[in-house]
Amino acid sequence: MYTKAAYVMVDFLAVIVLFLTIYAMDRIKDTYGKWLKRALVAGSFAVVANIFVAVSVNSAMAAVAYCAYFSAIDFILYFLYGFCMLYTEHVDIFKKTHKIICALMIIDTVSIYANFIFGHLFYIYEDTDNAGVTFFLTGFRPYYYVHLTLDYMVMALALVFIVYRIIKSYSLYRVKYILILSVLLLVVALNVAYMALSLVLDISVVFYAVAGALIYGSITVFVPRSLMNVSILRATDDMNEGLILFDINDSCIYANAFAKTRFDVDESTYNFSCEPVSSVIKEIIMTGESSGDIPYIKNAIRNGVAKTEHYRIKFNKLTDKNNRVLGSYFLLRDVTEEIYYLAAINEAKVNADNANLAKSAFLANMSHEIRTPLNSIIGLNEMVLRTEKDPEIRGYAEEIKQSGAVLLSLINDILDFSKIEANKMELVHSDYNPHELLRDIKQFFEQMAAEKDLFIHISCDPGIPSVLNGDIKRIRQVLSNLVSNAVKYTKEGGITINVSCNFLSHKTMELYVEISDTGIGISEADLSHIFDSFRRVNEGQNATIQGTGLGLTITRELVELMQGHITVHSSPGKGTSFKVTLPQTIVDRTPLGPFTETPAPATVEYHESFRAPTANILVVDDVMVNLKVVEALLKRTQVKVDKATGGAQAIEMCDDKKYDCIFLDHRMPAPDGIETFKAISVSGLNTDTPIIVLTANALSGADIEYREIGFADYLSKPIKSDELEAMLIKYLPPDKVTLV
């Protein structure tokens, strides 16, 4: 009686464990979790049926309970088969077989109950030692063993696929399948023991609960954690960085493969006194930091080759969630390639800087060497235009003037490009009248267009404000480049300039300028390269057209520098249209009204802007022709011009005579212009005389550099008479200047 009571109590505990496991199974979202849950539900029925067997009061009750128990086992095995197949990832085989196995189990269940009705497979055993206690025992009858054979075949089939997965899986994942195999084999072993020993109670049903809990724990806790630990160890070994862990007593508890290979770390003997850890600790102690990222250099031999290796070693404390120290770790990162790459990059940068300096020196020399003779050509030609009355000779001089302007434009394009590349192009804002700007553009290109029988038509929105603020010089350069291109590449028809605006606020607006031509157009293939440096589209067809190929590149850079944007649309054979948008500040919002053209005078005759017969200036240049040019350009102003052909002569003259203004060339034989300037500024009679550098150096930032040295101003060659006279009006004593 007591045996029966103990058995029933154990079965009740098994049912409770099964129900708790079934409830926990909801956490598993994979399909195999649903099948395991179904197996545990069937197991609960089996345990309950087994309880009824134990508490049966007669043979009929025991036989019915026994049939329910064995039919439940059929479906435990069916659902376990589904779980095993899905868990071991034999999904395709499961889909092909599970319906067949389900049908066999249903047939077997029906046969179990049918055999009970016929009474030829089961009988009831009366326990003589415990009167009134009825237990079920099986006899050695063939139909019963057919049932057992079917059940064990299903289980064996599942076990075969588990073993197959164990063999085929990576070692990292074998543990998950071995655990399931072990649990299932234990259940089978207990069941076989029950039958082999003819035990009065089937103790294997109690283990259903234990097996269910073990399987659930293995697939949700043990296996994930085991895989995580193994994966972490594998991952750290695969790291291209070293990892060394220490416990709270500074004893090494782990080192990955990188640390062991590079630094011969042995966990059993490695401690804070070993390299490279000791050097890192010393560095941290010296700096007073609690953690750090320390550089470390190691001389090593790799593959028989001596090599200097560079590392960055990071040290930090390991703490728990309550910030209590658990130990420490070191991360060792090999930065050898980074160091070598950085050295290569620095070397490349030095080479690039040297190349840039060489380019700048070349541009400076080119500018000086070309501008110096060009100064003489343009200056002396200007004197011809001022003095010569013969129309034929004046015509020749005008052509020289135009050719000089073209050559100067080419040089300026290259120098502007250099400024843009060096990010030294600066904007100088001033107030301007849009109509005057457009008139200047038209007058400048009208003669060029007329020579090709082209028209230039300007359409301007009358609502544009009368005074705007922007970099008028750069805006004029942008429009000039676009109009110049339009004239160059148009054979018939003409150029149209449309100007409008879009008000952004009371003080700001966008100026829209569209320049369209009826020229040869640009092909779609060339259109994407239209703004590329030194590239001219359709080079073969346009070989006779002058230009550097930098005009549009500079135009785009200038537009973007002014925070605007430029677009281009073109059709081959029909023409091209450039649209420029520039943000501008409104100074006077009064509308300009309709655009009116002021015809340019047929011939512009030179008139001096001032006279200063009592003024004395000194011009210093090692090229005699340049001295003659300055003297000739100032002839009508009546300024007294003294000339010096070198720095030493200029210093002597400044010691003996006071000048109102000095023009000093930069590049002369020793002493050069800067050395001469410093000598004149500290001694003699002209320490306070404004000295203007007169140079062919027009590179980016040159004017700023000269002013930083101390020059009063900067005048580039070739010298323009209007700029020269404006400079003298600015720096000569006012009482000596009479404006004309």
Give residue 699's pLDDT.
Answer: 57
pLDDT band at 660 (very low <50, low <70, confident <90, very high): very high
Name which CATH class applies to 359-423+607-740: alpha beta
Which positions ≥6 away from 685 have C-beta within 8 Å?
Answer: 654, 655, 656, 657, 658
Judging by DSSP bridges, how do beta strands 494-503 and 455-460 pair with one another?
A: parallel
Nearby residues of 556 by Cβ (< 8 Å), 6 or more positions away: 531, 566
- Look at 18-32, 194-208, 713-727 and tell me which has the smallest mean pLDDT: 194-208
Q: How far apart are CA 243 and CA 708, in angstroms?
A: 56
* Cα dihedral sign, 35-38-43-46: negative
Residue type, position 46, single letter: A
CB 311, CB 295: distance < 8 Å: yes
Q: What is the CATH number of domain 239-334?
A: 3.30.450.20
- pLDDT band per the 50, 70, 90 thresholds, residue 141: low
Q: Which of 400-414, 536-550, 666-680 has the lowest mean pLDDT?
A: 536-550
- Which strand (E) or helix (H) includes residue 585? strand 575-591
pLDDT at 642: 93
Q: Sorting pLDDT into bands at 50, 70 and 90, what band is 396?
A: confident
Q: Is the pTM of this model over 0.75?
A: no
114-121 mean pLDDT:
62
Of 507, 512, 503, 471, nearest to 585 by C-alpha is 507
- Bridge partner residues of 617 (DSSP): 641, 661
Q: Give the separation between CA 475 and CA 470, rounded to whole angstroms.
A: 8
- pLDDT digit string (tens) for 276-319? 888 888 887 777 666 668 888 888 887 778 888 899 888 888 88
Query: pLDDT tens across 470-481, in order?
Result: 988 888 888 888
Question: Residue 640: pLDDT above 90?
Answer: yes
Cβ proximity of 124 and 134 under 8 Å: yes
What pLDDT is attached to residue 623?
A: 83
Cα dihedral 555/556/562/564 (nearest 10): 130
Asked if residue 158 has pLDDT above 80, the reply is yes
Give the residue extent of every domain in the chain: 2-234, 239-334, 359-423+607-740, 426-591
- pLDDT confidence tier of residue 120, bands split at 50, 70 and 90: very low
- Say yes or no: domain 2-234 is CATH 1.20.1070.10: yes
CATH of 426-591 among 3.30.300.20, 1.10.260.40, 3.30.565.10, 3.40.50.150 = 3.30.565.10
For 397-458, the DSSP string reads HHHHHHHHHHHHHHHHHHHHHHHHHTT------EEE-HHHHHHHHHHHHHHHHHHTT-EEEE
Q: Say yes or no to pLDDT of 499 above 90.
A: yes
d(C-alpha 354, C-alpha 351), whole Å: 5
pLDDT higher than 50, residue 534 = no
Strand-pair category, 610-611 with 616-620:
unpaired
Secondary structure string (H, E, C) spanning 25-85: HHHCCCHHHHHHHHHHHHHHHHHHHHHHHHCCCCHHHHHHHHHHHHHHHHHHHHHHHHHHH
User: 225 exposed, middle or buried (CB, 10 Å; 0-12, 13-18, 19+)?
Assistant: exposed
Stretch 507-523: mean pLDDT, rounded?
A: 90
